[in-house]
């Protein structure tokens, strides 16, 4: 191979060669092309002869006529668990050094001494990747979600990934571990994880009674039973105030807005339909129920606007009207779909509490919206409806439940000078018996090199036997590079090299394109995402099955013509008033990428940002870039699942910063 091509040897070539060695004994001309098509999927996306010539040049293969055979060095290369763990011969090291990729290869001694951690609620692997990059071994990951489990297994084949309910683990953690042969005798240094956060989110219900909130306690059950050196729990900032009741007026308005949950409850009681149409039919019926509720809100609103003088008696009449009308509307919808005269009555009886609460909340919310009720005096005004009801028994019970839920909500507590809600306070008090836990801290991923403003709360505990106190890492980046910090990567820095996928018709059905479509990288951040450079000391392994000549998760989203026309007029950083999508600003980090919800929690699609240049929402791959996830990570062929997995994740630069801080405190200080 000519010397002037030495500089062209890249990490992708080494990865491709390693893939080929894993799938063939002899490198015969015809056989190697067949292997290439099988392993690399698109043989026309790489110059296969050049690749084999690189293998020959660095001593992995030898050419005998039309045959390409593995050398002794090639056999060693093939036996490596991963190409980064290969120990090259001295002559090969010289070539790799000249190509500036020798630092990609991992020191075996350092790799063998990695502290071992467990990742609970592992998701797609944002925490796992950060800890692996910092020098930890993620030996076990537990994730119940099917799509997240599949992606995690694909991205981290060295990790034992179990699709399981963490509750089973928490019931008897030691017995759970002992049943796993691969983990026999393993000493776990830490437990990391992000319990589901929808119940804590400021944009969600934020109810302390959400069953998902209990998973934070199950996380702590496992920590306190296994007692590792440290634990890290991440969550949305809303966990800090979960359980602290808002003003009664705000509480009522939240009840009135939450159509999805009661609508789901009503629909769940309807008779089943054939499996092949069940999901679509369920969504259709749920939308019908939600539309009925929205329609009733409009009618109640119109009623109040006609009568500006509202007395308690007027409100009582409105509640009865609201309840009666809601029952009629739901009954009519059920009757239209099912030929069963008794079904509407049964459904309303079984759902009477949900229906009553909706009806009551709608009336109070419209009073507030029409400024007939002062926000500060909401509870005082409404107290009479609880004490002297003139309603049916079911309405009375519902009013009592609304007040009891509000009155019995636990109030604010304090932890190390910070006001916190009861959910978080309970966790901190439990952990404090064995762990030194500093006050939780909210960190912005943008402050650590992520091209996205994304705040996450971290709770870190160091076992008291170690007599060490964790200090949260100081920000390393600032969006304008002020105060001596590095400038935070912008949206442009993250995705400028990715092509306009609207010009690729095949991406309507397919989800991959050739790396030849990428443009020249203009930022180190993009070079990291493309795996052309790597941070010093990074011990994470790229996905074994990664096709380095292809970029996946790039499905197109087609928009209606009128939507595209609106996008064309939308300025950088502004929000479309109709879709509520924000346009990325090329010179600033992205806004927070949301996850959306699964079917059992409303099937809400996350609002996706609009590309700063193209008139479309961003692709899954572009979203991954904005999280700091390298191109070798994969997510899901379906856009909806891909965005959900990414939106639930922890950005790599942020999780790596936390992991490096712990590594330096506990395992490198000596």
Question: Does 464 lie in the same domain as 390?
Answer: no
Looking at the structure, do residues 253 and 356 belong to the same domain, yes or no? yes
Give the pLDDT mean for 588-601.
74
Identify the helix (H) or strand (E) that includes residue 175. helix 173-178
Q: Is residue 126 part of a domain?
A: yes
Domain range for residue 293? 248-407
Q: Is 492 contained in some domain? A: no
Tokens of 16: 């491709």
Q: Which of 46, 197, 356, 382 is catalytic?
A: 197
Q: Mean per-residue pLDDT for 230-242?
A: 85
Q: Are residues 342 and 399 in the same domain?
A: yes
The confidence score (pLDDT) of residue 596 equals 61
**360 — pLDDT class (breaks 50, 70, 90):** confident
Give the mean pLDDT of 508-530.
94
Q: What is the pLDDT of residue 205?
A: 44
Q: Rounded mean pLDDT of 449-458? A: 95
CA-closest candidate to residue 311, choices 409, 390, 208: 390
pLDDT greater than 90 at residue 225: yes
Among 428, 462, 481, where does a domain finish? Answer: 481
Res 447: pLDDT: 96
Residue 426 is assigned to a structural domain of this protein: yes
Q: Tell me whether residue 533 is in a domain.
A: no
272 and 297 co-located in one domain = yes
**Which pLDDT score is estimated for 603?**
42
In this predicted structure, what is the pLDDT of residue 394?
Answer: 78
Burial of 310 by CB count in 10 Å (0-12 exposed, 13-18 middle, 19+ buried)? middle
State whether 369 and 272 are in the same domain: yes
Whether the pLDDT of residue 34 is over 70: the answer is no
Q: How far apart are CA 362 and CA 259, in angstroms?
A: 10
pLDDT at 259: 58
The answer, yes or no, to whether residue 27 has pLDDT greater than 70, is no
Q: Is 437 exposed, middle or buried (0-12, 13-18, 19+ CB in 10 A)?
A: buried
Q: Let me know whether 399 and 418 are in one domain.
A: no
Q: If you average pLDDT over residues 293-308, what whole number do you get? A: 73
Residue-averaged pLDDT of the chain: 83
- pLDDT of 670 above 50: no
Q: Is the pLDDT of residue 570 over 80?
A: yes
Active site residue 46: no
Least confident of 145-154, 423-432, 652-661: 423-432
The pLDDT of residue 594: 85
**Residue 411: predicted pLDDT:** 61
What does pTM read for this prediction?
0.77
Does residue 371 carry a pLDDT above 80? no
Indicate whether 25 belongs to any domain.
yes
Predicted pLDDT of residue 30: 45
The verdict on 440 and 338 lying in the same domain is no
Asked if residue 635 is part of any domain, the answer here is no
Q: What CATH number is associated with residue 52?
A: 1.10.10
The lowest-confidence range among 126-140, 319-333, 538-552 is: 319-333
Q: For 560-569, how does the pLDDT look when each residue is reduced to its tens digit (9 = 90+)? A: 999 999 999 9
Q: How far apart are CA 469 and CA 437, in angstroms?
A: 8
Percent residues over pLDDT 70 in the chain:
81
Alpha-carbon span 482 to 638, nearest angstrom = 40
Largest Cα span, the chain? 98
Task: Indicate if 35 and 144 belong to the same structural domain.
Answer: no
- Is the pLDDT at 341 greater than 70? The verdict is yes
Q: Residue 387: its pLDDT value, please?
A: 58
**Is 384 inside a domain boundary?**
yes
Tokens read off for 292: 């009925």
Residues 187 and 638: their CA atoms lie apart, in Å, by 38
Co-location of 280 and 403 in the same domain: yes
Last residue of a domain, one of 347, 374, 407: 407
Could you write out the three-class secondary structure of 120-151?
ECCCCCHHHHHHHHHCCEEEEEECCCHHHHHH
Confidence of residue 473 (pLDDT cuts 50, 70, 90): very high
Examine the pLDDT at 217 and tell me if it is beyond 70.
yes
CB–CB of 141/161 below 8 Å? yes
Q: Do 377 and 457 belong to one domain?
A: no
pLDDT of 315 over the 60 cut: yes
Q: Do 137 and 217 sit in the same domain of this protein?
A: yes
Reply yes or no on whether the pLDDT at 307 is more than 50.
yes
Query: In this predicted structure, what is the pLDDT of residue 211?
Result: 46
Res. 555: pLDDT tops 90: yes
SS (H, E, C) 477-497: EECCCCCCCEECCCHHHHHCC
Please name which of 461, 417, 428, 397 lies closest in space to residue 229, comparing C-alpha atoms: 461
Separation in Å, CA 63 to CA 16, 53, 96, 402, 485: 18, 9, 21, 80, 51
Of residues 411 and 463, the one with the higher pLDDT is: 463
Asked, for residue 332, whether it belongs to a domain, the answer is: yes
Give the C-alpha distances (Å, rounded to integers) separating 30 from 35, 68, 213: 9, 10, 58
Q: Total domain count for the chain?
A: 3
Instruction: Among 39-48, 463-472, 561-570, name the one with the lowest average pLDDT.
Output: 39-48
Summarize pLDDT for 170-216 with one digit per residue, the tens.
999 999 999 999 898 899 999 999 988 655 443 344 444 454 457 88
Domain boundary among 374, 407, 440: 407
**Nearest Cα to 14, choosing from 133, 106, 98, 105?**
105
> 489-512, pLDDT tens digit by residue?
999 999 999 999 999 999 998 999
Q: Are residues 194 and 286 in the same domain?
A: no
What confidence score (pLDDT) does residue 579 get?
Answer: 85
């Amino acid at each position: 191979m000519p010397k002037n091509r030495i500089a062209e040897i890249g990490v992708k070539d080494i990865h491709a060669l390693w893939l080929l060695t894993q799938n063939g004994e002899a490198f015969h001309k015809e056989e190697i092309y067949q292997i290439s098509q099988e392993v690399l999927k698109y043989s026309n996306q790489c110059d296969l002869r050049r690749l084999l010539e690189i293998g020959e040049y660095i001593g992995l293969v030898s050419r005998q006529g039309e045959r390409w055979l593995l050398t002794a060095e090639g056999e060693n290369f093939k036996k490596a668990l991963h190409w980064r763990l290969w120990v090259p011969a001295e002559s090969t090291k010289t070539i790799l050094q000249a190509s500036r990729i020798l630092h990609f290869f991992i020191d075996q001694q350092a790799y063998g001494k990695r502290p071992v951690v467990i990742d609970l609620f592992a998701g797609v692997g944002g925490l796992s990747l950060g800890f692996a990059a910092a020098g930890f071994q993620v030996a076990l990951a537990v994730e119940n979600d099917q799509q997240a489990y599949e992606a995690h297994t694909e991205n981290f084949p060295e990790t034992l990934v179990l699709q399981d309910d963490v509750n089973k683990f928490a019931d008897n953690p030691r017995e759970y571990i002992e049943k796993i042969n691969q983990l026999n005798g393993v000493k776990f240094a830490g437990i990391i994880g992000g319990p589901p956060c929808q119940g804590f989110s400021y944009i969600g219900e934020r109810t302390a009674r959400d069953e998902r909130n209990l998973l934070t306690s199950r996380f702590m059950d496992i920590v306190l039973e296994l007692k590792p050196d440290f634990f890290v729990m991440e969550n949305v900032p809303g966990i800090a105030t979960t359980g602290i009741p808002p003003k009664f007026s705000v509480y009522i308005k939240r009840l009135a807005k939450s159509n999805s949950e009661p609508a789901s409850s009503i629909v769940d009681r309807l008779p089943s339909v054939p499996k092949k149409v069940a999901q679509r039919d369920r969504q259709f019926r749920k939308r019908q129920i939600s539309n009925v509720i929205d329609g009733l809100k409009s009618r109640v609103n119109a009623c109040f606007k006609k009568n500006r003088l509202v007395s308690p008696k007027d409100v009582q009449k409105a509640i009865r009207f609201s309840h009666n009308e809601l029952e009629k509307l739901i009954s009519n919808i059920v009757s239209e779909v099912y030929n069963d005269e008794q079904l509407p009555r049964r459904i309303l009886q079984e759902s009477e509490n949900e229906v009553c609460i909706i009806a009551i909340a709608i009336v109070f919310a419209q009073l507030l919206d029409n400024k007939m009720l002062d926000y500060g005096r909401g509870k005082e005004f409404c107290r009479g409806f609880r004490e002297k009801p003139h309603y049916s028994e079911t309405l009375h019970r519902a009013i009592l439940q609304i007040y009891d839920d509000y009155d019995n909500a636990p109030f604010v507590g304090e932890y190390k000078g910070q006001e916190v809600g009861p959910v978080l306070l309970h966790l901190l008090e439990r952990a404090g018996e064995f762990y030194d836990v500093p006050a939780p801290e909210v960190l912005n991923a943008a402050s650590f090199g992520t091209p996205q403003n994304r705040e996450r709360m971290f709770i870190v505990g160091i076992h008291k036997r170690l007599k060490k106190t964790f200090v949260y890492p100081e920000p390393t980046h600032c969006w304008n590079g002020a105060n001596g910090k590095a400038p935070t990567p912008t949206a442009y820095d993250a995705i400028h090299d990715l092509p306009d996928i609207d010009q690729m018709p095949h991406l309507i059905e397919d989800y991959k394109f050739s790396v030849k479509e990428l443009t020249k990288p203009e930022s180190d951040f993009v070079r990291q995402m493309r795996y052309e450079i790597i941070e010093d000391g990074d011990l994470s392994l790229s996905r074994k099955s990664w096709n380095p000549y292809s970029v996946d998760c790039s499905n197109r989203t087609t928009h209606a013509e009128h939507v595209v026309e609106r996008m064309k007029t939308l300025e950088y950083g502004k929000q479309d008033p109709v879709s509520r999508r924000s346009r990325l600003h090329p010179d600033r980090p992205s806004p927070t990428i949301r996850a959306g919800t699964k079917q059992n929690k409303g099937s809400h699609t996350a609002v996706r940002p609009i590309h700063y240049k193209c008139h479309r929402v961003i692709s899954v791959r572009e979203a991954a870039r904005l999280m700091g996830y390298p191109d070798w990570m994969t997510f899901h062929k379906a856009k909806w699942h891909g965005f959900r997995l990414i939106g639930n994740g922890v950005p790599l630069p942020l999780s790596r910063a936390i992991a490096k801080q712990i590594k330096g405190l506990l395992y490198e200080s000596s």
